[in-house]
Structure 1
Amino acid sequence: MNLKTIIERVIHLREHQGVQLTLLAACPNSDAVLEAAVQAAARHHTPMLFAATLNQVDRDGGYTGWTPAHFVRKLDAYAAKYGARREWLYPCLDHGGPWLKDAHTRDQLSFEQTFAEVKRSITAVLEAGYRLLHIDPTVDRTVEGPLPIQVVVERSLDLMAYAEAERVRLQLPPIAYEVGTEEVHGGLVNLDNFTEFLRLLYAGLAERQLMQAAPTFIVAQVGTDLHTTTFDAETATALYQIVKPYQALIKGHYTDWVENPADYPRTGMGAANVGPEFTADEYDALVNLTQHENPPSSHFLENLTEAVHKSNRWQKWLQPDERGMALNDLSPERRTWIVKTCARYVWTVPQVVTARQQLYQNSALPDPHQFVVNWITASIERYIHAFNLSNALTYFGDDPP
């Protein structure tokens, strides 16, 4: 079922039957997280979105080592392993826009260069079978401050027009779109700006004869980012009333560790992304294994920390008062947070892979890999329960076996 149809059904269920659902989008930032999310979807008979950024999955392999086609093949394999209904597992592009791949900023690409790269990646994800594209031109490294709404709208329309032309060329069925007004970094949305964005966007879609690409999800700031854990239910409720007439719903980003996840379905949130939290769960499960491993030590944590340090990607998570500091100069608490958060960037580094294999060999558990996957699955299930997703497929006409 197309995600647009699912969201229209979610709105109908809410308005006419009192059923409140929020879809979960797991960010597949590692093989274990992807496997855990598929296991959870199969176990609870629920749809699941897999929101992959261009840092994670791209034509160059990203930090997971997966191209879009490889990622979808992995999804297929885990669906078969756990008996998940593959048609209810939705590979999605997250943050498809200029400079949102770290390499584009690192290499100081011009707007024209990064825009062209994003278009090539859009073609690749369409060819691989992605079902939702987050079109996100909210960042411009060449200007100070947020972009004017009109610019965000025009760039969104340009990328959506390109994606639709490619979809038609590739003879693919309709896909869903996700758009947003501004970069998500923990504040609250300005409702006047949000309303104006929607007015301009839908006028542009009509003018360009792109109404078939009308968004399924709108991204808005509802109080959460990687450093905050409070979801603003009052703002979300107001946003629901604004987007409902468009047959679209709000999608929350940075839902990790949110204190009040049950408020998401209560306020009409359509979906929520969770990613770094599952990296932390994977890290915690591996730390647990290190505390019980047989000699000789794998030195897993030392190897992981060294790989994170060498990657230099940890520097983008420094607070303003930490800029210029070495990793070892941070407080122990902050250093642990940095390593845990950035572990996803280096799970596939040979040094870490080798240490992890040794750690598994040193474990007394019969299947330490499954132990890690199950640990992550338990965390995913917290959101499945909070979002009222257990047996949710029955609401869409798919009864459990």
Structure 2
Amino acid sequence: MTTRLLDLASPTAGRRPGITSVCSAHPLVIAAALAQGRDDGTDVLIEATCNQVNQEGGYTGMTPADFRRFVEEIADRVGFDRARLILGGDHLGPNPWKALPAEEALARAGAMVAAYVEAGFTKIHLDTSMGCRGEPEALPDAVTAGRAARLAAISEAAGPEGSEKPVYIIGTEVPIPGGAFEALDHLAVTRPEAALETVAVHRAAFADAGVAGAFERTLGVVVQPGVEFGNENVVVYDRPAAAALSAALDRMPGLVFEAHSTDYQPAEALAALVQDGFAILKVGPGLTFALREALYGLDRIAAVMDGLAEDDTLAAAMERLMVAEPGHWAKYYPGDASAQRIQRHYSYSDRIRYYWPHRAASGAVERLLSRLAGRHIPETLVSQYLGPFYPAVAAGTLAARPDALLRAAVQRALAPYRAACGIGS
């Protein structure tokens, strides 16, 4: 798997390869992505973040070994070949413990990196750019690189003897995970000189730490190509604005760029990103956003079919839960009560995704799916509430079943990524 990832840095016939990084722990999203990979006969890259999955459980309650088992069980269920599964760890560094003194936070980060590698994750993004207690919010490149090299040394020593060594992603210009808080109209693209300096200082730091070999397996650099999304808008890739950054790859042999926050980019923008060397396209909230749209469409269908009161709907259950437990959204959604209510459900940042594992939410989803299970859903209601899927349902190529419609929703969101990476073309 390491070799297959490193192939991303080897353009063929003038075409640069790309891969989609599915950054989600939602079982329906993962199942849809793996089913698509099964049908396409392609590898599937699924990544977990440091806050989501770590040796202490993260907010999902899963360790890296737990997450691997979780994904592999889904793979077996949908018939996806485990040998084509690539697991990655994203933003691995002190971020979950940055309120602690640096040494303590880095010790925990080291334990996390070791846990990821021991669990068989083969793509490791080392992100040590944030300050810890008493430090500036952002650190100089040299400090960041030194800390990344320290974690790389732990990574290299982890795992069973003879096991496959991971590839690494470095870089400090990381967009805000999950999208920006405010409306955006443009972004500053990473300067080519800054990207080159990042590579140079990391190369030197890895050598100083005695892990120069690990740097030879460094695949990518996280940069800001000028893409992002806020709560209500998306900044679309401006190819001319990123031309100088893209050209800098000619001075970085063996490396590609990794683009974060590519959610909601139009198909032509994603294709341009890959052709410009942003070979790893990370997407997460955009997939759970699509899933939520489909769940809410099914929710309205059930309400019409059974004459449900509004209080009995999935949307009402999610509203009650989010109002009762505002920790995942309150500081991210500005505005008055009406604006916040809309953002709770419909924001591009999709912070509702943090609530789906909650017992109240999962129970509400189970009730909805049970209500519709085995029943005939009129295609006219699909047309009304799940319009994008009406043509396929009417043509008989998509079953009007909840499971099929939910999977189709996620795969529709993945379709422009497949096209950008040359799959199915």
**1:181 is matched with which residue?**
172
- Alpha-carbon distance between aligned partners in 1 of 2:60 and 2:424, rounded to the nearest angstrom: 29
**2:143 is matched with which residue?**
151
Cα displacement string for residues 265-292 of structure 1 (whole angstroms, at most 9, x for unaligned residues): 2212221100010110111011001111
Cα displacement string for residues 169-227 of structure 1 (whole angstroms, at most 9, x for unaligned residues): 65522111111123324531122222112111112223333122121111001112232
> 1:196-345, aligned counterparts within 5 Å?
196-214=197-215, 215-227=218-230, 228-234=234-240, 236-244=242-250, 245-259=252-266, 260-293=269-302, 294=306, 296=308, 298-309=312-323, 310-318=325-333, 322=334, 328=337, 330=339, 332-338=341-347, 341-345=350-354
CA distance 1:183–1:355, change in 2 (3 Å): same
SS at structure 1 position matched to 2:88: strand
- Alpha-carbon distance between aligned partners in 2 of 1:255 and 1:83, rounded to the nearest angstrom: 28
SS at structure 1 position matched to 2:20: strand
Structure 2 residue identity aligned to 1:125: Y
Runs of 4+ in 1 over 6 A off after TM superposition: none
Cα displacement string for residues 108-159 of structure 1 (whole angstroms, at most 9, x for unaligned residues): 3332332222222212212211111110011115444532111111111111
Query: Comparing 179-188 with 44-53, which one deviates more in the overlay?
Result: 179-188
Deviation at 1:385, TM superposition (A): 1.3
Cα displacement string for residues 35-88 of structure 1 (whole angstroms, at most 9, x for unaligned residues): 111111112222221121122223344343433222212322232333333222
Structure 2 residue identity aligned to 1:73: R
CA distance 1:192–1:339, change in 2 (3 Å): closer
- Alpha-carbon distance between aligned partners in 2 of 1:92 and 1:273, rounded to the nearest angstrom: 11
Structure 2 residue identity aligned to 1:152: T
**1:378 is matched with which residue?**
412
Identity of aligned residues (%): 23
Deviation at 1:229, TM superposition (A): 3.0
Is the Cα contact below 8 Å between 2:19 and 2:279 reproduced in 1? yes
CA distance 1:22–1:339, change in 2 (3 Å): closer
SS at structure 1 position matched to 2:86: strand
Structure 1 residue runs of 5 or longer lacking an equivalent are: 392-401
**2:383 is matched with which residue?**
none
CA distance 1:161–1:348, change in 2 (3 Å): same
Is the Cα contact below 8 Å between 1:219 and 1:251 reproduced in 2? yes
- Alpha-carbon distance between aligned partners in 2 of 1:24 and 1:79, rounded to the nearest angstrom: 17
- Alpha-carbon distance between aligned partners in 2 of 1:188 and 1:70, rounded to the nearest angstrom: 37
Structure 2 residue identity aligned to 1:9: D
63, 69, 73: which is aligned to 1:73? 69
Structure 2 residue identity aligned to 1:372: L
**1:53 is matched with which residue?**
49
Deviation at 1:295, TM superposition (A): 5.1
Is the Cα contact below 8 Å between 1:36 and 1:376 reproduced in 2? yes
- Alpha-carbon distance between aligned partners in 2 of 1:339 and 1:22, rounded to the nearest angstrom: 24
Deviation at 1:240, TM superposition (A): 4.2
- TM-score normalised per structure 2: 0.80
Q: Which has the higher contact order (CA 8 A, sep 6+)?
A: 1
**1:36 is matched with which residue?**
32
Matched, 1:160 2:152: yes
- Alpha-carbon distance between aligned partners in 2 of 1:216 and 1:23, rounded to the nearest angstrom: 13
80, 92, 98: which is aligned to 1:96? 92
Cα displacement string for residues 236-275 of structure 1 (whole angstroms, at most 9, x for unaligned residues): 5444443454301101000000131110222122211000
CA distance 1:187–1:89, change in 2 (3 Å): farther
- Alpha-carbon distance between aligned partners in 1 of 2:294 and 2:411, rounded to the nearest angstrom: 11
- Alpha-carbon distance between aligned partners in 2 of 1:172 and 1:316, rounded to the nearest angstrom: 43
**2:387 is matched with which residue?**
none
Matched, 1:114 2:105: yes
- Alpha-carbon distance between aligned partners in 1 of 2:401 and 2:256, rounded to the nearest angstrom: 41
Query: Comparing 60-69 with 271-280, which one deviates more in the overlay?
Result: 60-69
**2:421 is matched with which residue?**
387
- Alpha-carbon distance between aligned partners in 2 of 1:334 and 1:238, rounded to the nearest angstrom: 36
Is the Cα contact below 8 Å between 1:30 and 1:64 reproduced in 2? no
Give 1 or 2 for the bigger CA radius of gyration: 2
**1:399 is matched with which residue?**
none
Deviation at 1:300, TM superposition (A): 1.3
96, 115, 118: which is aligned to 1:124? 115
Deviation at 1:359, TM superposition (A): 0.8
Structure 2 residue runs of 5 or longer lacking an equivalent are: 177-186, 378-399
Deviation at 1:8, TM superposition (A): 4.4
Query: Comparing 307-316 with 342-351, which one deviates more in the overlay?
Result: 307-316
CA distance 1:114–1:87, change in 2 (3 Å): same
Is the Cα contact below 8 Å between 2:22 and 2:47 reproduced in 1? yes
79, 83, 87: which is aligned to 2:79? 83
Number of residue equivalences: 375
CA distance 1:11–1:331, change in 2 (3 Å): closer
SS at structure 2 position matched to 1:152: helix
